[in-house]
Structure 1
Amino acid sequence: MNKFGIIWAGQLVSVIGSALSAFVIGVWVYLDTGSVTQFVLIQFCAAVPGILVSPIAGVITDRWDRKRIMLAADLGAGLATAILLMLVASDALTVWPIYLTTALSSACNSFHMVAYTALVPSLVPKKHLGRVNGLMQITQGVQIAAPLVAGALLGLVGLRGVLIIDLVSMVVAVTTLAVTQLPADAIRPVPSDKAPSGFNAGLRYLRGKPGLVNLVVVFCAFNFLFAIAGGLVQPLILSFSSPATLGVLMAAGGSGLFAGSLVMAAWGGPKRRIDGVYLGLVLGGIFLVLHSLYPSPWLIAIAAPCFLFTLPLMNTTCMTLIQTKVDPAVLGRVLGAVRMLVTAATPIAFLLIGPLSDGVFEPLMADDGALAGSFGAVIGTGDGRGIALIFLVVGVLMFAVAAYAWTRPRLRNIDVEIPDAIGEPEKEPARD
């Protein structure tokens, strides 16, 4: 646990620096170009390369030294930041280097996260794995809160100063990881004759365990619905509130995510991990529906933090189940496949929400829309009420995913039907 704590602290510092620079780079692009399209392309470059390389990252994680993979990924992301810093210092920064370096950072982050997540089960006692995964969720809360700090830093030290902070944070992460000795079975697992090999080994391994397949399906569905809500919550708030109120409510939502991470770090989740999945889905559905009922900042101030509270619960329980039930020899490839499937849900959701909102739901919920007399009588009509209806539909779909999960016997009994594939980590570190 001490070794994990050192690595986790260094990685947390690095995540803070990366989140700060990502925010200010986006602000710079929008202010310099005035183009929403060019701003959105940054999000595209930050998502798609990581999705595409995830299976490759899984294969490499199972074959090479996981610590060195993490170090190489951190150095690669640091190189991307250093290139941007040099361009800023020479007053030569344009949008195209930003797209390229963002794509490089995305690919490096995918390698880093697959290796990091595969490393953890061999590093910490199995009984603490849920708590450790809860701690790892804190990074997402930090990323949401980063814009509050980044906005102030941009005015104080400028873009160059924020990039320097990011580089320093990367040095901290690399240093703490490099000096920490890790057990041999953690950095490079023992190959297993029973584990499938090849590029698609992760998917083939999952297909052989129906309970895990159902878990991944539910995990992907949750992330897809979560992405729809995350992409539309700001337009929903702005339909009845000011930008200043939006900032306050986004900070409140981030506090829910942070609180959920702390709770999971202290609790670790229920003894039957699958019960945490059911709980996350049901609570998520309830709080999504609450978003839709009335155009009130006070309602969002309650519903948004509570909904974001469910993200660490779902992520922690799902990831702990995968880590404990998958053979360590193929864990990297399974995690790579899962990461590809789960993260792919986000850009798909973002592609859908614009046409669904502007072309379908908003016209239906206009004052004279087709649904004004039915759903409009419950949640209101006019600007933003189409988005509210999407929240209502997504909340109901979340209940449907929970019902699906409950009707799958292999998933319902996954805690006992699939034996744990990991034991306790070595107590004495080997030279690495």
Structure 2
Amino acid sequence: MAEKSNNFSKFLVIWLGEFISSIGSGLTAFALGVYVFQTTGSAAAVSLTTLFAFLPTIMLNPVGGVLADRYDRRLMMICGDLFSAFGLVYMLICFQTGGLGTLQIYIGVTISAVFVALLEPAYKATITDLLTPEEFSKASSLMQLAASSKYLLSPVLGGLLLSITDVGTILIIDISTIITTVIIVAFIRKSLPAETKQKEKLQLLKDMKEGWDVVTGDRGVLAIVVLISVSTFYLGLLQTLISPMILSFSNSKALGMVETISATGMLLGSFIIGIRPLKRYASTMSTGFTLAGVFMAFLGTTINLILITAAGFLFFCTLPYINTSADVMVRCRIPNELQGRAWGLISILSQIGYILAYACAGILADNIFNPMLIEGGLLSGSTGRLIGVGPGRGIGFMLVISGVLVALLGFFMRSVKIIQGMEPAVNTRYSEHKQMPQKQSAKKGA
């Protein structure tokens, strides 16, 4: 029991470091999004910034997963965080010299994203290193809480900072949070086990194939990954276009407040799961998707900031339930020694939807949907009567369509027997783990 508590304490130290880093990353993402939109007026430019910040990490996650299974996972986390600062330093230099354009931003966020690929699989695999299956749900909710800090704290801080300072200051703050995180993880690393190191020669393609076999060989895991990938396309549209939609009729300070208050929904959901862990994962995930779709659709129907914030809050409330359910059902099906490469592959497969959304969201908004809902536009006399016409209303219509499709996806999940059948496997894994200490005690007594 003491060892179990001690390991969870070590995990909390690592989590604290990533929480701090996430706040810094969120500040930079918010500031760059506002900066790009205000200097270009283009939703496409904003979505391209998001794409370049996301695509390298997703494409290289399988490689990072293989390395996380071969080498010290905490060292991988330190290297990933530290080297990701190179891209921030590059953008800071460009800004100070007056040369920070969209091209320089694309290059800077790409450099950072390449090294984040080393961090994420190692971070996820560390949970399985340190914790018991009974603690997976609580740890997953804490990880989501740390990740949500970029939506919870960073937007309001970013909005306030941009009203009194500039992008350069925010880049400096982000670099400082990375340094703090590296120091925290390095401090705790000596007391953490480094047990995943396989001694045979590194064979990248072979190891990646092993991860592929683990994921595709389990029909339940593969089904969850495919469904999540479909949903991330619509979630990616929301993530990319909410800023241009609000900035089209308001300012960056209001945007920061809306995003921060909305994201407290994720804080509430994560907190509830932390004190009352989930028991029915499959049904929770499908219900979460249905409700998330309803709230997303409502969010696109109005330009009233209070109603947008309320819909956003309820939308974010559902995310911890969706993510925790999927995380635990998948985690309990994968052997610990293959966790890194499996999560690396799952990252790229489950988030292909994000890549597609980031690539096309701005183009669809600027060239198709927004023109249809301006005065005299194709849908101004029909759909426009329901959700309004003017700047950003085409983006609102995109969110309505996306929300309806996400809600339908949630209903569809209830009929997928493969996913529903994973529930007993989770319970079995928990029961087996509870019996292990008794077996070990019996051996010691013998």
TM tier, shorter chain?
Answer: 0.7 to 0.9
Counterpart of 1:253 in structure 2: which amino acid? Answer: S
1:322 maps to which residue? 330
Which residue, 100, 123, 132 being the options, matches 1:125? 132
In structure 1, what residue type is equivalent to 2:332?
Answer: T
Paired residues of 1:410 and 1:417 also in contact (CA < 8 A): no
Match of 1:101 in 2: 108
Closer, same or farther in 2 for the Cα pair 1:264/1:108, shift >3 Å?
farther
Listed one character per residue, the Cα deviations across residues 313-363 of structure 1 (whole Å, up to 9, x for unaligned) are: 222221222222111122212211111123332231133334444554456
Q: Retained in 1: the 8 A contact 2:243–2:255?
A: yes
**Residue aligning to 2:207:** 198
Task: Return the offset for 1:242.
Answer: 6.5
| C-alpha contact 1:51 1:343 (8 A) present in aligned 2 | yes
Quick one: distance in 2 between partners of 1:92 and 1:373? 45
Of 209, 212, 221, the residue aligned with 2:218 is: 209
Whole-angstrom CA distance in 1 between matches of 2:89 and 2:377: 53
Aligned to 1:183: 193
**2:68 aligned partner:** 61
**Alpha carbons of structure 1 residues 151 and 69: separation in structure 2 relative to 1, 3 Å:** same
- Structure 2 unpaired stretches of 5+: 1-7, 438-446
Where 1:404 maps in the other structure, the secondary structure is helix
Letter in 1 for 2:270: S
- The CA deviation at 1:283 is 0.9
Q: Shift of residue 123 of structure 1?
A: 0.9
1:197 deviation in Å? 4.5
SS of alignment partner, residue 420 of structure 1: helix
Displacement after TM superposition at 1:118 (Å) = 1.0
Give yes or no for the alignment of 1:44 onto 2:51.
yes
Q: Percent identity?
A: 26
What is the CA distance between 1:133 and its match in structure 2? 1.0
- 2:12 matched to which residue of 1? 5
Matched, 1:287 2:295: yes
Task: Check if 1:114 corresponds to 2:124.
Answer: no
- Give the Cα–Cα distance (whole angstroms) in 2 for the partners of residues 35 and 396 of structure 1: 28
- 2:192 maps to a residue whose letter is L
Q: Is the 8 A contact 1:135 1:264 kept in 2?
A: no
Shift in CA distance, 423/301, structure 1 to aligned 2, threshold 3 Å = same
- Tell me how far apart the structure 2 counterparts of residues 386 and 158 of structure 1 sit (CA, whole Å): 30
**2:233 alignment partner, one of 220, 224, 227:** 224
Q: 1:398 matched to which residue of 2?
A: 406
Q: Distance in 1 between matches of 2:333 and 2:140?
A: 15
Give the letter aligned to residue 55 of structure 1.
P
- The answer on whether the counterparts of 1:240 and 1:296 sit within 8 Å (CA) in structure 2 is no
| TM-score, scaled relative to structure 1 | 0.83
What one-letter code is carried by the residue in structure 2 that aligns with 1:232?
L
Letter of the 1:58 partner, please give it. G
Is there any run of 5+ residues in structure 1 with no aligned partner, and where?
427-432
> Is the 1:190–1:329 Cα contact (8 Å) retained in structure 2?
no
- With over 3 angstroms needed to count, the CA separation of the structure-2 counterparts of 1:242 and 1:85, relative to structure 1, is closer
- Following TM superposition, by how much is the alpha carbon of 1:206 offset from its aligned partner in structure 2, in angstroms? 1.8
Could you tell me which of 264, 276, 280 is aligned with 2:284? 276
**Residue range with higher mean Cα deviation, 153-162 or 244-253:** 153-162
CA distance in 2 between counterparts of 1:29 and 1:371 reads 29
Partner letter of residue 228 of structure 1? L
Of 140-149 and 237-246, more deviation after overlay is shown by 237-246
Following superposition, the deviation at residue 4 of structure 1 comes to: 0.4
Contact (CA 8 Å) 1:364, 1:372: kept in 2 or not?
yes
**1:376 offset after TM fit, Å?**
5.5
Once the two structures are TM-superposed, the CA of residue 244 in structure 1 deviates from its matched residue by 5.8
Distance in 1, matches of 2:209 and 2:168, equals 42
What is the RMSD computed on CA atoms of the aligned residues? 3.5
| Structure 2 residue aligned with 1:430 | none
Matches within 5 A, 1:82-101: 82-84=89-91, 91=97, 94-95=100-101, 98-101=105-108
Cα distance 1:355–1:81, how it changes in 2: closer, same or farther (>3 A)? closer
SS at structure 1 position matched to 2:337: coil
Give the conservation status (yes or no) of the 8 Å contact 2:65–2:343: yes
**How many residue pairs end up in the alignment?**
417
TM-score scaled to structure 2, two decimals? Answer: 0.80
Taking the TM superposition and a 5 Å limit, the aligned residue runs for 1:132-151 are 132-144=139-151, 145-151=153-159
| Pair 1:107–1:401, CA change in 2 (3 A) | same
Alpha-carbon separation, structure 2, partners of 1:132 and 1:401: 27
2: CA distance, partners of 1:287 / 1:137: 20
SS in 1 for 2:335: coil
Letter paired with 2:80:
A
2:267 paired with 1:258: yes
3-state SS of paired residue (1:382): coil
| Alpha-carbon contact 1:367-1:381 (below 8 Å) kept | no
Greater shift, 209-218 or 298-307, is seen at: 298-307
Kept in 2, the 8 Å contact 1:118–1:323? The answer is no
Aligned AA (1:136): M
The structure-2 alpha-carbon separation of the partners of 1:297 and 1:13, relative to structure 1 and needing over 3 Å to count, comes to closer
1:173 equivalent in structure 2: 181
Counterpart CA distance in 2 for 1:190 and 1:414 is 33
Shift of 1:210: 0.9
Q: Which residue of 2 aligns with 1:301?
A: 309
> Which AA in structure 2 matches 1:251?
T
CA contact (8 A) 1:223 1:346 kept: yes
DSSP 3-state at the match of 2:312 = helix
**2: distance between equivalents of 1:369 and 1:41?**
26
